[in-house]
């Protein structure tokens, strides 16, 4: 067992490393800092030379690359074929994955294949004596569990979106490049054929990539009041999101919903307007770096996750804020 080695398995789309891959690198580096270890990345795909270079831009001990036509699209069989022998042989202490749909499909079966422990949806960890304790949400985020893994062997972790900050992923020092090593790709076959991928809803909004989100809740009162929030979003260059009642009332389309049954976002700035902060909403936005809330109820739970809270009537506060931002931006 390579006691101090941490692997991080990267995911990518459209020739770019997924934001959550950078969050996974940040988590792995933080873990390495805690246990005194080093981080090595694993990248799978076809024609992924550029992606390997992007990965090598981070402070990693190595980037291992499986570059094979069969890995053009994700299929669980081919990924298990590649990853299982590599992890079995290297026997790292931990393997970190971003917690994505792909990981939900892959990681449990990979863990079973090599008899590893698996802690999904990790949001933080702490050292306790010789142990590491992992914190993860349960019951749809209503509770958080602390988990200790018993026994020996490699431990798999998947880290929840927004729990670790992509910006915290340390980049490689200028001197000394990161070694990119090819992985042997023998016996890699796919267990299924991907027939195609279709965009659902055509021009659906992907709020997960937004840097700034202005989210509107039931406190807006009625659809006719939305323009004041849209003006604030325009002044900030933000995307608009919403809590579920706004969607259920048909005031905004479903792809704007943030929360447990909507999208998960992790913007740098999240402005919550007339949102109470129900747990189902919080699980979708608590990865935001800075939350600013406007609510007339000083005891609204949204204030507990906010860096800045404005207690007041949104009909007065929002236009004043928009005007101040417009003035500041000239």
**Phi, psi (rounded to 5 degrees) for 277:** 100, 40
Q: How far is the CB of 221 from ligand FAD (least distance, A)?
A: 7
User: What is the nearest approach in angstroms of ligand FAD to the Cβ of residue 263?
Assistant: 8
User: Could you tell me the smallest distance in angstroms from the CB atom of residue 271 to ligand FAD?
Assistant: 12
d(CA 112, CA 108): 6
The single residue among 5, 100, 103, 243 that binds ligand FAD, judged by CB under 6 A, is: 243
How many distinct helices (H) and strands (E) make up the chain?
8, 17
Q: Which lies closer to ligand FAD via its Cβ, residue 47 or residue 261?
A: 261
Instruction: Report the interhelical angle of 314-329 vs 226-236 (nearest 10°).
Output: 30
Cβ nearer to ligand FAD, comparing 100 with 264? 264
User: Token pair for residue 98?
Assistant: 């971003």
- Footprint of ligand FAD on residues 51-110 (CB under 6 A)? none
> How far is Cα 88 from Cα 2, in angstroms, rounded to an integer?
11
The angle that helices 101-114 and 76-90 make with each other, rounded to 10 degrees, is 50
User: Which lies closer to ligand FAD via its Cβ, residue 185 or residue 245?
Assistant: 245
322 binding ligand FAD? (CB under 6 A) = no
- Least distance (Å) from ligand FAD to the CB of residue 261? 4
DSSP-assigned states of every residue in 94-135: EEEEE-SHHHHHHHHHHHHHHT-EEEEEE-EEEEETTEEEEE
Is residue 244 involved in binding ligand FAD (CB under 6 A)? yes
Give the nearer residue to ligand FAD in terms of CB position, either 221 or 237.
221
Q: Which residues bind ligand FAD (CB under 6 A)?
A: 217-219, 243-245, 257-262, 274-276, 278, 280-281, 284, 294-297, 300, 313-315
């Amino acid at each position: 067992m390579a006691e101090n080695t941490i692997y991080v398995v990267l995911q990518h789309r459209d020739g770019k490393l997924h934001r959550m891959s950078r969050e996974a690198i940040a988590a792995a580096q933080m873990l390495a800092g805690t246990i005194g270890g080093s981080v090595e990345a694993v990248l799978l795909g076809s024609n992924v030379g550029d992606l390997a270079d992007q990965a090598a831009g981070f402070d990693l001990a190595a980037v291992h690359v499986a570059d094979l036509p069969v890995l053009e699209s994700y299929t669980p069989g081919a990924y298990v074929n590649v990853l299982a022998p590599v992890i079995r042989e290297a026997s790292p202490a931990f393997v970190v994955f971003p917690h994505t749909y792909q990981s939900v499909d892959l990681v449990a079966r990979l863990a079973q294949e090599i008899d590893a422990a698996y802690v999904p949806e990790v949001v933080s960890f702490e050292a306790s004596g010789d142990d590491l304790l992992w914190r993860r949400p349960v019951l749809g985020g209503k509770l958080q569990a602390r988990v200790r893994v018993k026994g020996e062997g490699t431990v798999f972790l998947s880290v929840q979106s927004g729990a670790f900050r992509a910006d915290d992923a340390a980049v490689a020092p200028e001197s000394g490049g990161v070694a990119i090593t090819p992985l042997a790709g023998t016996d890699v076959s796919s267990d299924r054929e991907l027939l195609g991928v279709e965009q659902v809803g055509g021009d659906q909004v992907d709020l997960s990539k937004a840097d700034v989100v202005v989210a509107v809740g039931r406190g807006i009162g009625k659809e006719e009041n939305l323009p004041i929030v849209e003006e604030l979003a325009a002044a900030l260059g933000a995307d608009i999101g919403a809590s579920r009642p706004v969607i259920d009332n048909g005031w905004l389309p479903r792809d704007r919903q943030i929360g447990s049954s909507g999208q998960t976002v992790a913007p740098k700035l999240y402005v919550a307007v007339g949102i109470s902060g129900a747990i189902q909403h919080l699980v979708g936005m608590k990865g935001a770096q800075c939350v600013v809330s406007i609510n007339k109820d000083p005891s609204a739970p949204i204030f507990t996750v906010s860096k800045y809270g404005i207690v007041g009537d949104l009909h007065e506060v929002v236009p004043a804020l928009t005007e101040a931002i417009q003035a500041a931006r000239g």
